[in-house]
Amino acid sequence: MKLYLDCPCTSFPRSFARDYKETYRYPPPSTVYGLLLSLVGETDMSAHLGVKLAIGIIGDDPPISRIVRKQRHHKFSKTHMGTYPTGKFSKPNHQELLTDLQVVVQLESSDETATVKLTERVAIALSSPSQITRFGGLSLGESWAMVNGIRVYREADGPIRWLTKDNRGLISLPIWINRQTGQGTFQRFSWSNEFHEECWVTIPNLEAPVTKSKGKRSPRNSQL
């Protein structure tokens, strides 16, 4: 299954970005996976782990714009008790935006463990949207970055440049973000004008590390 997405304005903030929100130049696989779950109305991030994604771009790299926006800084303490006056807890910061982004996503679900595969659910969402239950707008990136539409890719949409896995590539994107720890799993990419096996990225089934509990130390036997 090959999908076409038209996103007029979006941003993919880098993991290390703080006051100045730099953006990844291309949509990360972790973000695209979240969009697909939103499309089918799935709230469990682990529902379709093992699905394979291939991400491509139509046209040139999207231009980057820089804007100034208001950012709120919340200090959670007993003193404030949920009251955050705008004058004290807001300040301007800069953010990078991508405009006129055209994305192609190819899906392959043979390695999924889910009973109903993600490709099947996406096909239902596109052909019979009344059969799914979802809420909110469909966004690629942050919640405000809503897409113009999503449909099956057509040859008339234009040639595709595919992101392909390359350990020496200059493009580094997250493929999975652990929501509990905030740690990400990254992959390096380069470009290919032709689709091949290295274009596939598997959304990993990462188990949480098991923390071994420390047993109680027995007291030393002392001789008087």
Phi and psi for 215 in degrees, rounded to 5?
-75, 160
pLDDT of residue 113: 85
210 or 113: which leads in pLDDT: 113
pLDDT at 216: 45
Q: Which residue has the higher pLDDT, 216 or 54?
A: 54
pLDDT band at 70 (very low <50, low <70, confident <90, very high): confident
Question: Which of the two residues, 27 and 215, has the higher pLDDT score?
Answer: 27
Q: For residue 16, what is the DSSP state? A: T
Domain extents in the chain: 2-202
Residue 82: its pLDDT value, please?
57
What pLDDT shows up at residue 184? Answer: 81
> Is the pTM higher than 0.85?
no
Closest CA to 3 of 102, 132, 138: 102
Residue 32 has a pLDDT of 97
* pLDDT score at 74: 56
pLDDT at 219: 44
Average pLDDT value for residue range 73-89 = 57
DSSP readout, 103-157?
EEEEEE-TT---SS-HHHHHHHHHH-GGG----S--BSSSTT-B-SEEEE--GGG
**Is 2-202 assigned to CATH 3.30.70.580?**
no
Task: Name residue 6's beta-bridge partners.
Answer: 102, 149
Query: What's the pLDDT score for residue 27?
Result: 96
More confident residue, 206 or 32: 32
Q: 81 in the Ramachandran plot: left (φ > 0), alpha (ψ -120 to 50) or beta? A: left
